[in-house]
Structure formats: structure tokens, C-alpha cells
Amino acid sequence: MRAAVIEKPYVVEFKDVAPPVITRNDEVLIKVAVTGICGSEIHAYHGTHPFRIPPVISGHEMTGVVVETGKEVQSVAIGDRVTVEPQYGCGLCRYCKVGDYHLCPRKKVLGTQEWTGSFGEYIVVPEHTVIRLPEGVSFEQGALIEPLAVGVHAVRQAKVGLGDKVAVLGAGPIGLALMLAAKASGATRTFITDVSDYNLEIAAKLGSTYTINPLKENPVEFIRNSTNGDGVDVAFLAIGLEPVLNDALKVVKKGGKVSEVALFGSHPKVEISFVQNREISVIGSNMYTRSDFEIAAEAIAAGIFDTGLLISKILPIHQAREAMELVDKKTENVIKVLLTYA
């Protein structure tokens, strides 16, 4: 099969490799149609990701068609248009037993050395990870379900509700997903920050009430001034930088919530006295579970999540290296770059 392999840091090779095969009765073979490039793949490309370690066939934001099923597979059939929740737990630990398999210490993640990802033309996945694409959702749109599910999970966890004021710090794909999910959950005012005017422009088009470029104005002052000095109900951290984390603690109202969704490469210094003094709750959010995935898929089908503005560029799989460079170096303005096997 055709595959874009991250051979070692900064080296992506497009080549022919042996496809994965079904070895268990509950497995499904999928021919990948479209795969997105995620920030975590860029970390893998840099050789800095904790478990996407080269040489690896990465890729976990995908859609495709079922081409073969194991003997016991019942819920999907050959020809189904699908996406995959790219994780599953051991099924035995205390987390798995209560449905929190995304916290399983032995969970497997698609696009690692132990589970070949969608930068290869075929993937083999357990039946229970497969989700049929709702009618009317294209392969390209469906590739956005995974990053949108990250936003859905964090917003549901933070219990954003009707009338809430919400700040999202960082307007990359996950920040935009958080903003969309917060609005869909009833947030009446959203503030989103980013140093890229292009990303802020997209955020405004997607309906954010306010956009703030921290290079031009102080987000803490802006958000406080716009909320009678109180701050927002919930702040989401969608970029892993120390000053942004400390801003998050300063833009929530007393008794408010800070949801940490970002990956930090370092150990930030936190102004923890804000948490104590202002009775702030800090919530961690890690990926999603199946219900978040299903909600994201339905919200795309219903037009609540407009993927058109999120998809910046679609390139053929043999240009994976150029695509990775583009996402990494931002040589042009992009939100989400997709790769296609067509």
C-alpha cells in the first residue's frame, strides 16, 4: 500500500509498504480516503512526541470505506463510509470498566508503532472503534470529526451552558473546535485569542463574539473590561504556553473554571495563588470518548459545525512531506491540512 512514513525526525518518505491485515474476528479493514494532519503528528515529525515515535506510520484523523470485516463483525459492513475513534482501552482496568477508557493506562492510539495509522492507505481497527459517517457528511468533512470531538469533550466536561461567557486562548484547530462547541452549548459570548490575524479572521467568521490578538492588545484587560471586571465563566487553554496559562487564570471570574486542553512541552510556572484566592477550578481534558465523537459527527451533519472554513488545503498523500512542512512552518495561512488517497 501507499504510505507516508515518518522514518526519523524531519524525514518523511512516501513509499510502498505491506498493508496491515485482519488477524482477529472483531477487526475491520478500512481503505483510507482522507486523513488530516494533527499537531501531534508535527511533534512526531520533530521526534518530540511521547508515543508517536519514528519510524512510524502516523495519522488518526481519518475517513474511509470498509473493505473487509472479521467473522464476528456485525455493526459495520463492506462499503460503509466510516471514521474511527483512534483509541481503545484494555477493557479490564478500573477506568475501562466505568467507560473512561480514554484514561486507560494501557490504551492503544492509532498512528503509533503498535497500531498503524492513516498515513498508510489501509488500517485495521477493532469494530467498536468504527463510527459510520452520517448521511451528507463528505470524507473531507468527516476528517474533522476527531479534532472537533476534542472540543466537544472539553466543553461537555466544563459544563458550558446557556448564557455562559467563554474565553478560548489559542485559535488553532482545537481552539476553534472549543469555540464552536461552546457556542453550540449555549455560550452567549465568546472571546478567542491568537497571534495570527488569519486564525482570528476564521474565528470571527465562525461566529466568535470577540477576537483578540495579544500582540496588539492585552487579552486579560480586554476580557475583564468586557465583563464588568468579573471575567468569564470558563476559560479554555488551547495553546501550551506559560504566559497563556497564567492569563487563563486571570480571565475567569471568581469561582470560574479553567479547562486545560493544550499539550505543554515544558513545566510552566503557575501563579497558583489565583486558584486559591479566587476559588478557580482547574479541569484537565484528554481526548474524548465515543459519545463526543458521535456528537461531533452529528453537529457537522446538522451544519452546526461549519467545516468549510476549517479545511484550508487538500493535498495528495504523496505530498505528505510538503503538507507536514506547511503545517509545521506555516509558510502560508492554514487551519487544517488534509491528505487524500484519491
Site for Zn ion in 110-139 (CB under 5 A): none
Instruction: State the nearest-atom distance from the C-beta of 26 to Zn ion, in Å.
Output: 17
49: left (phi over 0), alpha (psi -120 to 50) or beta: beta
Nearer to Zn ion, 14 or 95 (CB): 95
Residue 287 binds Zn ion (CB under 5 A):
no
Least distance to Zn ion, CB of residue 250, Å: 29
Nearer to Zn ion, 61 or 194 (CB): 61
Burial class of 21 by CB neighbour count within 10 A (0 to 12, 13 to 18, 19+): exposed
Nearer to Zn ion, 144 or 252 (CB): 144
Q: How far is CA 43 from CA 194, 221, 277, in A?
A: 20, 33, 36
Using CB under 5 A, pick the residue from 32, 44, 57, 104 that binds Zn ion. Answer: 104
Q: Which residues contact 300 (CB under 8 A, 6 or more apart)?
A: 134, 137, 141, 142, 144, 145, 148, 307
Calculate the CA dihedral of residues 152, 154, 157, 163 and round it to 10 degrees: -70
Query: Whole-number minimum distance, CB 99 to Zn ion, in Å?
Result: 11
User: Which region among 20-28, 104-112, 163-171, 318-326 touches Zn ion (by CB under 5 A)?
Assistant: 104-112
Q: What CA–CA distance (Å, rounded) separates 178 from 169?
A: 10
Q: Contact 129/197 with Cβ under 8 angstroms?
A: no
- Does position 59 bind Zn ion by CB under 5 A? no
Establish if 90 lies at the interface with Zn ion (CB under 5 A): yes
Q: How far is the CB of 322 from Zn ion (least distance, A)?
A: 20
Q: Which of 93, 109, 301, 314 binds Zn ion (CB under 5 A)?
A: 93
Residues that bind Zn ion (CB under 5 A): 38, 89-90, 93, 96, 104
